[in-house]
Amino acid sequence: MNRQQEFVLRTIEERDVRFVRLWFTDVVGSLKSVALAPAEVEGAFEEGLGFDGSAIEGLARVFESDMLAQPDPSTFQILPWRGNGKSEQTSRMFCDVLTPDGEPSAADPRNVLKRTLAKAADMGFTCYTHPEIEFYLLKSDKPGPDGVPVPVDQAGYFDHVPGGVAQDFRRTAVTMLEDVGISVEFSHHEGGPGQNEIDLRYADALQTADNIMTFRTVIREVAIQQGTYATFMPKPFSDHPGSGMHTHFSLFEGDSNAFHEPGAEYQLSKTARQFMAGILKHAPEFTAVTNQFVNSYKRLWGGGEAPSYVSWGHNNRSALMRVPLYKPGKGQAARLEYRGIDSAANPYLAYAVLLGAGLKGIEEGYELPPAAVEDVSLLTSAERRLMGHDPLPSSLHDAVRQMEESEFMAQVLGEQVFENFLRNKRDEWQEYRLQVTPYEINRYLGVL
């Protein structure tokens, strides 16, 4: 029993915690939860908690289904939306998934990220991320009479809505996030009606991924409490912007920011350029992970701010990767923003592949192509081809095909997650192909 574990047990005792939820994620990033009575927690620390992995999407096949969930005591947190005030609290811990022999399971997404971070550590880096998460607030989880979801308001970017539902919502949500130890940097109304953005403060990549999982739960809980519904679906409206999860990355070597080099172009160090080159080079291969649903491609190719071509730029809002404006004297804040990822990605896998691609760029010394200065989406396709702005995959099918061919992806995810993920996505595409969509009915039924 180590100190952190002791701390958890003591807190459970002192705070009158009645339930401890163990959280982990499946391969697509859905949160899985199992509740323990406080008395069972010690055993779970020591031996892990057995469960049937084959029941979890992409975790195991039937013939090797026994798995263990081992709680990570450093993630212990009281959940403020449960329990009544000071007593009968509910808490949660994230789990690592282990094989019955107590080895980290190769199929656990959290382990995939941990492995990538360990590799970064071997190269002397610690990785920090800072996500900007967009989502829609709807009146309910059912679409309206015209088949389109109904947002809670009709406001736009940065709009202040007097007495607005969204404002109340953001205040409550931010307070609750702070209560569970997630620092919020920024929150505002986004471009679409009912669309909001909340930025989390930068933190270590594993912690950020854990935070995103918690964040989604908190947002949904608060919405329900207020009689609304929050969705992270990448593109719920044909006519309004999709929900992205732009993420800023920075690498630190010891105490110093490895991306910062005073005097260089955009103050970008060689490490930063190689990191960015790595991400750009492998972006088409990992898009299946960062944009993992059929619906994700409606956002990527739906116009607006969503980036669809491999490109980077300094403050260029059409670029896939952006070098944010440099503020003098803020060398430690040097970072790179990846704008392709959407709000429904599995954060563990998405960050693992992004960091993995960047690290590969550093390791192999990739050359960064020139920056895009114009709006890439306004170029002709011939121009884009000439300038090396390859398109991202145009559909889930296309993305899966590109991922299948990628040795890089097999390496970062590990052979098992690679295989499980692909299987899951092929199935999804297959199901989607069988659908006759409202578009087809509207378009063809009357005329054919």
Of 19-27, 44-52, 82-90, 412-420, which segment contacts another protein by CB under 8 A? 412-420
d(CA 187, CA 74): 27
List phi, psi (to 5°) of 271.
-55, -45
Instruction: Please report how close the Cβ of residue 417 comes to another protein at its closest, in angstroms.
Output: 11
The answer to whether 387 and 309 are in contact (CB under 8 A) is: no
Tokens at residue 109, please?
A: 């997404």
When the beta carbons of 255 and 367 are compared against another protein, the nearer one is: 255
d(CA 228, CA 220): 9
Instruction: Please report how close the Cβ of residue 1 comes to another protein at its closest, in angstroms.
Output: 8
Residue 62 binds another protein (CB under 8 A): yes
**How many other CB atoms are found less than 10 A from the CB of residue 312?**
27
Residue 375 binds another protein (CB under 8 A): no
Residue 419 binds another protein (CB under 8 A): yes
Which residues, 6+ apart, have CB-to-CB distance to 397 below 8 Å? 429
Instruction: Please report how close the Cβ of residue 66 comes to another protein at its closest, in angstroms.
Output: 10
Residue 82 binds another protein (CB under 8 A): no
Residue 329 binds another protein (CB under 8 A): no
Residue among 14, 146, 239, 255 that touches another protein (CB under 8 A) = 255
Instruction: Please report how close the Cβ of residue 100 comes to another protein at its closest, in angstroms.
Output: 7
Residue 196 binds another protein (CB under 8 A): no
Which residues, 6+ apart, have CB-to-CB distance to 14 below 8 Å? none
When the beta carbons of 39 and 62 are compared against another protein, the nearer one is: 62
When the beta carbons of 124 and 144 are compared against another protein, the nearer one is: 124
- CA dihedral sign of residues 100, 214, 336, 291: positive
380 exposure class (CB count in 10 Å sphere: 0-12, 13-18, 19+) = exposed
> Which residues in 91-110 contact another protein (CB under 8 A)?
99-103, 106
Instruction: Please report how close the Cβ of residue 404 comes to another protein at its closest, in angstroms.
Output: 9
When the beta carbons of 60 and 372 are compared against another protein, the nearer one is: 60
Residue 401 binds another protein (CB under 8 A): no
Provide the residue type at 314 as one letter. Answer: H
d(CA 58, CA 55): 9
Apex 126 CA angle, 105 and 310, nearest 5: 85
> If binding means CB under 8 A, how many residues of this protein chain bind another protein?
23
Which residues, in sequence order, are bridge partners of residue 321? 312, 338
Instruction: Please report how close the Cβ of residue 41 comes to another protein at its closest, in angstroms.
Output: 18
Of 274-282, 292-300, 337-345, 406-414, which segment contacts another protein by CB under 8 A? 406-414
Which residues, in sequence order, are bridge partners of residue 138? 151, 229
Instruction: Please report how close the Cβ of residue 65 comes to another protein at its closest, in angstroms.
Output: 10
Residue 78 binds another protein (CB under 8 A): no
Residue 333 binds another protein (CB under 8 A): no
Residue 179 binds another protein (CB under 8 A): no
Instruction: Please report how close the Cβ of residue 442 comes to another protein at its closest, in angstroms.
Output: 40
d(CA 182, CA 56): 27
d(CA 70, CA 42): 11
The answer to whether 348 and 413 are in contact (CB under 8 A) is: no
d(CA 274, CA 282): 12
Tokens at residue 217, please?
A: 């739960």
Instruction: Please report how close the Cβ of residue 419 comes to another protein at its closest, in angstroms.
Output: 6
Residue 143 binds another protein (CB under 8 A): no
Torsion of CA 417, 205, 407, 336, to 10 degrees: 150
Residue 303 binds another protein (CB under 8 A): no
Of 146-154, 166-174, 316-324, 407-415, which segment contacts another protein by CB under 8 A? 407-415
d(CA 320, CA 323): 10
Q: Interface residues with another protein (CB under 8 A)?
A: 2-3, 61-64, 99-103, 106, 121, 124, 254-255, 407, 410-411, 414-416, 419
